[in-house]
Amino acid sequence: MELRGRAALVTGGGTGVGRAIVLDLARAGCAVAVNYSRSEAEARATADEARQLGVQAMLVRADVAEDAAVRGMVEQVVADLGRLDIVVNSAGVTVQVPHADLEALDDAAWDRVLGVNLKGPFNVIRAAMPHLRLSQGAVVNIGSIAGVHGIGSSLPYCASKAALNNLTMTLARVLAPEVRINTVAPGFIDTRWWKERPEYQLVRDFAARRAPLGKVCQPEDVSQMVLALLGNDLITGEVVVLDGGFARAV
């Protein structure tokens, strides 16, 4: 896929990995829609920076867990950008609950995490599908090694990312041959979300020591893989682990 002249929607595009993806798409000449739910100031700054790179950029607010909001968002993106070729599902949430503490997980925790991390990508893909089919487009989901190896912030988070992997493989058959869909599954990512946590340095150092490559993911590492998957027309239904070898370490 040639990215120049295309139009992309990036959910959770205002911060962290989503922001890096928006800016790399803009550098490649792709118009971008920056979705956000709460981080309006950050999303606005990201869209402004994308415009400075010479492409059209817009803000669009929607909670991806809400189907009606997502359908409205996609309509707005197509109306403003004139087309929709690429979807990157980067929006995500979690809860911090030890895996052994089953009683700490209530319905609200499960519903919110599954709503954003699993239903959200489905809602966006479903709403965008007619436009993606028309343009021979592509989807990239942002998953996690939590969904591959069952490690991470909580059971709902791990389950949501594992289900996203399965959804990717299943939809790859459903959407083919017009639309490709893949998932990037990073390990620890050095983002603001982690930096605001008291255990940040401890967890980061552990992840870097364990990884054979001796380092952790930066948002730009994930973005580069997203663009690589968008650019290769022979890859679909894949879950690409991006963790410096962390999960393979003995």
Nearest to 186 by CA among 229, 155, 226, 156: 226
The yes-or-no answer on residue 157 being catalytic is yes
Phi and psi based region of residue 179 (left: phi greater than 0; alpha: psi -120 to 50; beta: remaining): beta
To the nearest 10 degrees (0 to 180), the angle between helices 120-135 and 67-81 is: 30
Report d(CA 106, CA 178) in Å as an integer. 40
Please tell me which residue in 23, 30, 88, 157 is annotated as part of the active site: 157
| Location of structure tokens 């690409």 | 240
Report d(CA 25, CA 138) in Å as an integer. 13
The answer to whether 219 touches 191, Cβ cutoff 8 Å, is yes
Helix segments in the chain, DSSP class H: 16-27, 40-52, 67-81, 107-114, 120-135, 146-149, 155-175, 192-195, 200-210, 219-231
Which residues belong to the active site?
157
